[in-house]
């Protein structure tokens, strides 16, 4: 394998996928930035600007068929022009998705082929346990390993209390307390940042993601802004996703601050995030217990005796409803997409026979 590609995260999995479908006339690269209809790609030839083939655009059924930041793409390179043509996207080892903003029922892949998701939450007025639960569902669903990063420790006077609160919801998930300002806890994250490993940062605006990256890189590669007074919320400093190479190895995908992520999928993530509630559910007298008014409900008993907080259970039910709603909408969308696919096939066939 090419050394330059190894640094970018290339491994046997991607090599095998590539060899099964493509020949030696093709090369590969990793998407660093997604522009309008164009992509900045890191390759063995250096940084190239890539554009999709017409066939790839035509065959795409939705957003998930287009490259996302972190994807490995198959290209024909024109190094002398610093350009490339993108022919396909290799299978993803992991993908972190959310529903696109607005009323459209469509998946937006925020980052692909991520090894570890750093879930940022600031230890100031923006600290939010319920948001951490939502982030954990998305992280577990993505296939990447979640790590909780509690930032801005220099602004917090009850760090231990907040860490204990996070431990009650992030069961078995590593938790790190850091301050990019004082460098507290930064060195402890080195094990996640080795050569070829990819980290994605997720968190609201103003939690310190850009400052954290600048600290790792050693220079201000990303702009930072002060948070607002009164609610400790920040402005959206990062406006696009970007794959950043670190000087000592490893890659980081920065993402725009996302305060309220709409779930795209979450059945598996719910089981991981709310393992305690789901295990309690197995102890209920009725197998189909809804944990509402049924007698001998283990979940309600745990709430009554203080073993489970009412707020955590309320968020569990809320997220369950949200996921069920999205699944119903996706079923309808899938049916419509299948119908549209066959309409397109029939149209192409008619055009083919007409022109014979």
pLDDT in tens, 264-277: 555 667 878 888 99
Give the residue carrying structure tokens 């995030």.
Answer: 273
Q: Does pLDDT of 102 surpass 80? A: no
DSSP state of 227: P
Highest mean pLDDT among 268-282, 294-308, 325-339: 294-308
Can you give the residue ranges of every domain in the chain?
Answer: 3-89, 95-254, 267-334
User: Which pLDDT value is given to residue 90?
Assistant: 96
pLDDT in tens, 129-173: 988 988 888 888 888 999 999 999 998 899 999 999 999 999 889
Highest mean pLDDT among 167-171, 222-226, 233-237, 329-333: 167-171
Q: Does pLDDT of 104 surpass 70? A: no
Q: How confident is the model at residue 1 (pLDDT cuts 50, 70, 90)?
A: low
Q: How confident is the model at residue 17 (pLDDT cuts 50, 70, 90)?
A: very high
Q: How confident is the model at residue 115 (pLDDT cuts 50, 70, 90)?
A: very high
Write out the DSSP string of 313-336: HHHHHHHHHHHHHHHHHHHHHHHH
User: Which pLDDT value is given to residue 109?
Assistant: 84
Query: Rounded to whole angstroms, how far apart are CA atoms 116 and 144?
Result: 5
Half-sphere exposure of 146 (CA within 13 A, CB side): 28
Determine which of 4-18, 150-164, 256-270, 274-288 has the lowest per-residue pLDDT on average: 256-270
For domain 267-334, give its CATH number from 3.20.20.140, 3.90.660.10, 1.10.40.50, 1.10.1380.10. 1.10.40.50
Closest CA to 124 of 206, 221, 214, 200: 206
Strands (E), 185-283: 198-202, 242-245, 251-254
Contacts 24+ apart (CB under 8 A), 165-170: 165/129, 166/121, 166/129, 166/132, 168/309, 168/312, 169/129, 169/132, 169/133, 169/136, 169/273, 169/312, 170/132, 170/136, 170/146
Mean pLDDT of 240-264: 74
Contact 220, 166 (CB under 8 A): no
Mean pLDDT of 233-249: 67
CATH architecture of 3-89: Beta Barrel (2.40)
Mean pLDDT of 296-305: 93
Share of the chain above pLDDT 90, in %: 44
For domain 95-254, give its CATH number from 3.40.50.300, 3.55.50.30, 3.40.50.360, 3.10.129.10. 3.40.50.300
Query: Rounded to whole angstroms, how far apart are CA atoms 164 and 177?
Result: 12
Instruction: Give the 3-state secondary structure of residue 214.
Output: helix
Q: How confident is the model at residue 228 (pLDDT cuts 50, 70, 90)?
A: very low
pTM (predicted TM-score): 0.76
Burial (CB count within 10 angstroms: exposed 0-12, middle 13-18, buried 19+), residue 230: exposed
């Amino acid at each position: 394998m090419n050394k330059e590609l190894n640094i970018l995260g290339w491994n046997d999995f991607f090599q095998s996928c590539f060899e099964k479908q493509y020949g030696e006339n093709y090369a590969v690269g990793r998407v660093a930035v997604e522009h309008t209809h164009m992509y900045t790609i890191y390759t063995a030839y250096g940084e190239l600007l890539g554009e999709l083939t017409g066939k790839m655009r035509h065959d795409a059924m939705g957003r998930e068929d287009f490259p996302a930041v972190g994807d490995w793409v198959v290209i024909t390179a024109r190094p002398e022009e610093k350009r490339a043509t993108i022919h396909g996207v290799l299978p993803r080892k992991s993908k972190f998705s959310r529903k696109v903003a607005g009323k459209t029922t469509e998946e937006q892949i925020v980052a692909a082929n991520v090894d570890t998701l750093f879930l940022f939450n600031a230890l100031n007025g923006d600290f939010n346990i319920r948001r951490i639960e939502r982030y954990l569902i998305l992280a577990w669903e993505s296939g990447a390993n979640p790590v909780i990063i509690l930032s801005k420790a220099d602004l917090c006077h009850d760090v231990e209390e907040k860490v204990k609160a996070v431990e009650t919801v992030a069961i078995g998930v590593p938790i790190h307390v850091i301050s990019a300002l004082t460098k507290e806890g930064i060195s402890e994250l080195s094990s996640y940042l080795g050569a070829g490993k990819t980290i994605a940062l997720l968190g609201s605006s103003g939690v310190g993601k850009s400052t954290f990256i600048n600290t790792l890189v050693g220079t201000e590669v990303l702009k930072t802004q002060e948070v607002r007074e009164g609610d400790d919320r920040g402005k959206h400093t990062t406006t696009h996703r970007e794959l950043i190479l670190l000087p000592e190895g490893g890659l980081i995908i920065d993402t725009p601050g996302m305060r309220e992520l709409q779930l795209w999928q979450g059945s598996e993530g719910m089981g991981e995030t709310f393992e305690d509630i789901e295990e309690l559910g197995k102890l209920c007298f009725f197998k189909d217990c809804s944990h509402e008014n049924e007698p001998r409900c283990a979940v309600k008993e745990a709430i009554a005796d203080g073993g489970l907080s009412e707020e955590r259970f309320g968020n569990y039910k809320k997220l369950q409803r949200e996921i069920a709603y999205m699944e119903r909408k996706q079923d309808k969308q899938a049916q419509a997409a299948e119908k549209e696919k066959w309409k397109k096939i029939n149209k192409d066939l008619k055009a083919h026979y007409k022109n014979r």
